């Protein structure tokens, strides 16, 4: 497969609202990011993906865009943005924007026109339908609870919103909509941005019959996913976007795709199909989902995680490209979800980093992950800010006999605000994030976990990530080697190899809080071994790998030649 810069890069995601506030209004901003570029440079990342910074009424924190060509007032001005881009490029950093074009805000000028009358030229920019038997046009549920349709009195019709009612879905069947989006994309690319992360991009094409989903007994709403997840024209739309826009620039493209399968991902990312470079799938972060989705938070097994990761590694090996992530602004914190955020926080955060960064694909680090930030036990629903969480809680509380403590427990485990608490920069008030009142409270553990402390400790998680990123630049097997899972049935150890030419990397991760013993003799036999990285200070590199003792959450990588 061909070599490209985005395969060798490590990407850092910034959720601007929570990153760093430069003006004391309690909300992170663009100048705040510019002030921290040297920190990110020190970490060693190559690319920054910015969650949306466009003008927005913030029903969904910027994922509801009112004007694609303006910057959100709370975040600063276009001048601030241009300065950020320039400062990044000067440091050799690339900037990837969030592209949210499945929907806009209901305050976007297109929608304001669209809803004004049935014969407005922009009516068809969105998806309008008359009601059926005095109810919604179909039974689809919104991702943020309730019907996916909103009645609009003015024209006596409903519009589709797969997310909040302030996020009406654009009508991609309309060529004018597509042309407007392409123009807007070119506008940003001509400014010099280096790519797009595309929000729910596999939802663009809807089955034009808009059939009902299959409702559970007694339920009014149903998941309509099979009528819009990889809908009928999705590949056509992305090929058109590629041909008209993406192919004209040397950029990075990654599609966020809930519900995508390996087979579909091959189509989206195969080089000869000219669609996207990589996708975010949701299978590993969906572990433990039940009939009520993530809020069920059921137990899951390590072998399931290994099976999912390996399926994607093998599936895209020669046919596409993986993006690698444990968490982002929609997911709980990696160390809380997949590691141990108590006694073994540091050990397990490092172990998770190795496990992910040694796989084949482009790794993503979510802000704060590099210092091992954790989930937050919000004491009450009043502390939460996320629309998904708040709507779900309100909906559930309508049912009789619901225990609010149980709901909060689920929110603590899986809610999106876990990832959105401000980055913990130091031990001063509000963790040095703001001099004002933060829009979402700081995690109370900020005195213990913060950037200043991490930078002062040569053994910190931060420097471990730094080393991993350096390794990627030195060892081409990390980027291009083939993946092979070891110890498939093991419920504690995630071990695999990456091989290329005469070289093999052996990656071993203990996902348990117990010491373990395993043998890797059949792989290391007769080979020269070099220890590349480990979180076990006592490991010398000379160990006999045919009988190896692992500490709780230990990880190591040996290069065998």
Measured from the CB atom, the residue of 60 and 194 that comes closer to ligand NOJ is 60
Q: Output the six-digit token pair for 556.
A: 């190591």
Q: Which of 97, 91, 94, 98 is nearest to 6 (CA)?
A: 94
Long-range CB contacts (within 8 A, 24+) of 54-60: 54/100, 56/105, 57/105, 57/107, 57/166, 59/105, 59/164, 59/166, 59/167, 59/387, 60/144, 60/163, 60/164, 60/166, 60/167, 60/387
Site map 240..269 versus ligand NOJ, x via CB under 6 A: ----------------x-------------
Cα separation, 102 vs 120, in Å, equals: 21
Measured from the CB atom, the residue of 55 and 60 that comes closer to ligand NOJ is 60
Cα separation, 391 vs 489, in Å, equals: 40
Q: Is 326 exposed, middle or buried (0-12, 13-18, 19+ CB in 10 A)?
A: buried
Cα separation, 98 vs 558, in Å, equals: 37
Cα separation, 90 vs 542, in Å, equals: 42
Is 199 noted as a catalytic residue in this protein? yes
Measured from the CB atom, the residue of 136 and 199 that comes closer to ligand NOJ is 199
Cα separation, 14 vs 48, in Å, equals: 7
CB of 358 to ligand NOJ, least distance (A): 26
Q: What is the bridge-based pairing of β-strands 362-366 and 195-198?
A: unpaired
Measured from the CB atom, the residue of 63 and 159 that comes closer to ligand NOJ is 63
Site map 181..220 versus ligand NOJ, x via CB under 6 A: ------------------xx--------------------
Q: Which of 19, 101, 33 is nearest to 68 (CA)?
A: 101
Of the residues 194, 256, 340, 417, only one is catalytic, namely: 256
Cα separation, 556 vs 350, in Å, equals: 10
Measured from the CB atom, the residue of 200 and 265 that comes closer to ligand NOJ is 200
CB of 200 to ligand NOJ, least distance (A): 5
Cα separation, 228 vs 231, in Å, equals: 5
Measured from the CB atom, the residue of 58 and 139 that comes closer to ligand NOJ is 58
Interaction of residue 106 with ligand NOJ, rule CB under 6 A: no
CB of 61 to ligand NOJ, least distance (A): 7
CB of 159 to ligand NOJ, least distance (A): 16
CB of 105 to ligand NOJ, least distance (A): 11
Interaction of residue 100 with ligand NOJ, rule CB under 6 A: yes
Site map 304..343 versus ligand NOJ, x via CB under 6 A: -------------------------xx-------------
Interaction of residue 59 with ligand NOJ, rule CB under 6 A: no
End-to-end Cα, the chain, rounded Å: 23
Measured from the CB atom, the residue of 202 and 536 that comes closer to ligand NOJ is 202
Cα separation, 54 vs 246, in Å, equals: 20
**103 in Cβ contact with 168 (< 8 Å):** yes
Cα separation, 325 vs 256, in Å, equals: 12
Interaction of residue 163 with ligand NOJ, rule CB under 6 A: yes
Measured from the CB atom, the residue of 325 and 511 that comes closer to ligand NOJ is 325
Measured from the CB atom, the residue of 177 and 550 that comes closer to ligand NOJ is 177
**At what angle are helices 234-244 and 175-191 packed, to 10 degrees?**
40
Measured from the CB atom, the residue of 253 and 504 that comes closer to ligand NOJ is 253
Is residue 96 left, alpha or beta, with left meaning phi > 0 and alpha meaning psi from -120 to 50? beta
CB of 9 to ligand NOJ, least distance (A): 20
CB of 404 to ligand NOJ, least distance (A): 24
**What are the residues facing 96 on neighbouring strands?**
49
**Residue whose entry in the numeric block shows the structure tokens 């993406």:** 246
Cα separation, 282 vs 266, in Å, equals: 15
DSSP calls for 290-304: BTTBGGG-----HHH
CB of 149 to ligand NOJ, least distance (A): 17
Interaction of residue 366 with ligand NOJ, rule CB under 6 A: no
CA angle 179, 180, 183 (to 5 degrees): 85
By beta carbon distance, the residue nearest ligand NOJ is: 63
Cα separation, 325 vs 510, in Å, equals: 18
CB of 120 to ligand NOJ, least distance (A): 25
Interaction of residue 125 with ligand NOJ, rule CB under 6 A: no
CB of 253 to ligand NOJ, least distance (A): 16
Cα separation, 500 vs 299, in Å, equals: 36
Q: What backbone torsions phi and psi does residue 23 show, to the nearest 5 degrees?
A: -120, 10
Among 59, 60, 370, 490, binds ligand NOJ (CB under 6 A): 60
Interaction of residue 63 with ligand NOJ, rule CB under 6 A: yes
By 3-state DSSP, what share of the chain in percent is helix, strand and coil, each rounded to 5?
35, 20, 45
**109 in Cβ contact with 180 (< 8 Å):** no
Of the residues 59, 98, 157, 199, only one is catalytic, namely: 199
Which spans of this chain sit near ligand NOJ (rule: CB under 6 A)? 60, 63, 100, 163, 199-200, 256, 329-330
Q: Which residues are catalytic?
A: 199, 256
């Amino acid at each position: 497969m061909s070599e490209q810069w985005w395969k060798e890069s490590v990407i850092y995601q910034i959720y601007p609202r929570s990153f760093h506030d430069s003006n004391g209004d309690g909300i992170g901003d663009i100048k705040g990011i510019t002030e921290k570029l040297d920190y990110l440079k020190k970490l060693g990342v190559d690319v920054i993906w910015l969650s949306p910074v466009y003008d927005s009424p913030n029903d969904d924190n910027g994922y509801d865009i009112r004007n694609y060509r303006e910057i959100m007032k709370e975040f600063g001005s276009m001048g601030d943005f241009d300065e950020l881009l320039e400062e990044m490029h000067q440091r050799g950093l690339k900037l990837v924007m969030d592209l949210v074009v499945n929907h806009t805000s209901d305050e976007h000028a297109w929608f304001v026109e669209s809803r004004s009358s049935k014969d407005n030229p922009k009516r068809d920019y969105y998806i309008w339908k008359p009601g059926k038997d005095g109810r919604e046009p179909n039974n689809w549920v919104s991702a943020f609870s309730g019907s996916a349709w909103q009645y609009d009195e003015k024209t006596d019709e409903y519009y589709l919103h797969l997310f909040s009612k302030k996020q009406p879905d654009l009508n991609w069947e309309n060529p004018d909509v597509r042309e407007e989006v392409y123009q807007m994309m070119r506008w940003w690319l001509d400014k010099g941005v280096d790519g797009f992360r595309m929000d729910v991009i596999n939802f663009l094409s809807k089955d034009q019959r808009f059939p009902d989903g299959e409702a559970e007994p007694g339920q009014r709403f149903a998941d309509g996913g099979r009528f819009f997840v990889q809908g009928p024209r999705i590949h056509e739309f992305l090929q058109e976007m590629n041909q008209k826009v993406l192919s004209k620039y040397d950029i990075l493209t990654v599609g966020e795709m809930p519900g995508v399968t390996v087979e579909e991902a091959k189509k989206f990312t195969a080089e000869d199909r000219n669609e996207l470079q990589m996708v975010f799938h949701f299978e590993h972060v969906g572990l433990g989902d039940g009939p009520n989705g993530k809020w069920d938070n059921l137990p899951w097994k390590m072998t399931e995680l290994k099976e999912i990761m390996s399926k994607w590694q093998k599936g895209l090996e020669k046919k596409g490209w993986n993006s690698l992530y444990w968490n982002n602004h929609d997911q709980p914190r990696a160390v809380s979800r997949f590691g141990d955020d108590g006694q073994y926080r540091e050990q397990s955060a490092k172990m998770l980093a190795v496990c992910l960064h040694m796989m084949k694909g482009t790794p993503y680090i979510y802000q704060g992950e590099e210092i091992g930030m954790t989930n937050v036990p919000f004491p009450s629903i009043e502390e939460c800010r996320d629309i998904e969480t708040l709507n779900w809680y309100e909906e559930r509380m309508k049912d009789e006999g619901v225990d609010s403590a149980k709901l909060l427990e689920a929110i603590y485990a899986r809610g999106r605000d876990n990832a959105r608490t401000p980055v913990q920069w130091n031990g001063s008030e509000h963790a040095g994030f703001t001099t004002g009142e933060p829009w979402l409270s700081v995690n109370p553990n900020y005195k213990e976990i913060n950037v200043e402390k991490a930078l002062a400790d040569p053994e910190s998680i931060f420097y471990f990530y730094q080393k991993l990123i350096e390794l990627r630049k030195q060892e081409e097997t990390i980027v291009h080697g083939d993946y092979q899972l070891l110890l498939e049935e093991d419920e504690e150890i995630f071990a695999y190899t990456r091989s290329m030419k005469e070289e093999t990397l052996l990656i071993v991760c203990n996902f348990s809080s117990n010491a373990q013993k395993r043998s890797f003799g059949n792989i290391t036999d007769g080979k020269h071994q070099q220890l590349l990285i480990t979180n076990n200070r006592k490991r010398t590199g000379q160990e006999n790998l045919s009988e190896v003792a692992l500490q709780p959450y230990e990880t190591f990588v040996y290069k065998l030649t």
